[in-house]
Every structure is written in C-alpha cells, then in structure tokens.
Amino acid sequence: MADETSNGAAQPAAAQAQINLQQIYLKDASFEAPNAPHIFQEQGAPQLQLNLGQKVTPLAEGVYEVVLSATVTCTINEKTAYLAEAHQAAIFGMSGFDAQNLEGVLSTYCPNVVFPYLRQSVSSLIQGGGFPPFLLQPINFEQVYMETLRRRAEQAKQPQAVESTFPPGNA
C-alpha cells in the first residue's frame, strides 16, 4: 500500500509492527492431593503459597513461545492439602519490532494474552481436585516489566568485583 504525498507522488508505507497469535495451549499440568482423603477432615485456615514464572523461547525467526507458569501450594495445619501446577503457553509471530520494543511486547502484551488461560487451568485443576475454587488475581505485567528494567539499570551502575591477590604481584 502506498501513501500519497502533497505533490501526488506515491511513497511506500512504513513497515508496521505486527503480532500474530498462532496457538494457545496447556503445555504441562499436574495436581497432587498427597494427604487426601484425610485432609478433607482437617479444621483450620488454609495457607496458600503462589509462585509465578514467565519464560520466552525463540522458535524461529520472528516466532516466540511465551510460557506462564503457576504453582499453588495449599497447606492446612502444616499438612499439604494440594499442589497444583500449570504451564500455559502461546506461540506468537512478531514482525516490525526493534529489539527494545520486542522485549517489551514479549514481557507485557503476550503474558496478558496468556494469563486468562493460565487462570482457568489452575482453577479447573484445584476445583476438579475437590477443593474450593481458586482464582489467580490479575497481574500488572507492565509494572513487573518496569521493575525488571529498573533492577537491570541498578545492576549496570554497580561496580563489578575485580579479583586480585594481596599483596599485588604475589600468587
């Protein structure tokens, strides 16, 4: 497609950045209730621990797999009620991004697309195991990415440790 200038001459359109969602899939899932059926008789407040992860893997030129993972561990009276783990993935085609913008899109936009599927997978595992529903709360991936950039900048400012012998010249 060409754009016309004020003098009527055709100019080629600038390459635009494009994202193509190719596939969303559940890469891995597991559920354990090691103390069932006795855990259903336990009285006490459940304690939940949530660990989240994100991984980006280049698959081909301009094609990336983005995997979000969640591990939810629930204990009651220091006994494990359940352990649910899911790895939700998607394949994205990308074109027209410079390196900095590509990293930002892979760290923010793509996880936002995958997250609702991860939330559903985790919830289904836990509810299917006979436990009350659990919904992952929304995550601000933009804020997480900005914090990552801030930490990188801080690390870049810190002087690097230099290994030396003392006194100099002695080994």
- 36-54 pLDDT, tens digit per residue, is 999 999 999 999 999 999 9
> Which 3 state secondary structure label does DSSP give 98?
coil
Predicted local confidence at residue 161, as pLDDT: 58
> Which 3 state secondary structure label does DSSP give 155?
helix
Predicted local confidence at residue 131, as pLDDT: 95
- pLDDT band, very low/low/confident/very high, at 156 (cuts 50, 70, 90): confident
Structurally, what CATH architecture does the domain formed by 16-152 represent? Roll (3.10)
Predicted local confidence at residue 166, as pLDDT: 45
> In 33-102, at which residue ranges do the beta strands (DSSP E only) sit?
47-60, 63-76, 79-95
Compute φ and ψ for 42, nearest 5 degrees: -65, 140
Predicted local confidence at residue 164, as pLDDT: 47
For 47, 80, 91, 107, 134, the CA distances from 142, given in Å and listed in that order, are: 28, 33, 20, 8, 24
Predicted local confidence at residue 145, as pLDDT: 95
Q: What pTM was computed for the model?
A: 0.80
99-107 helix and 141-157 helix, angle to the nearest 10 degrees:
130
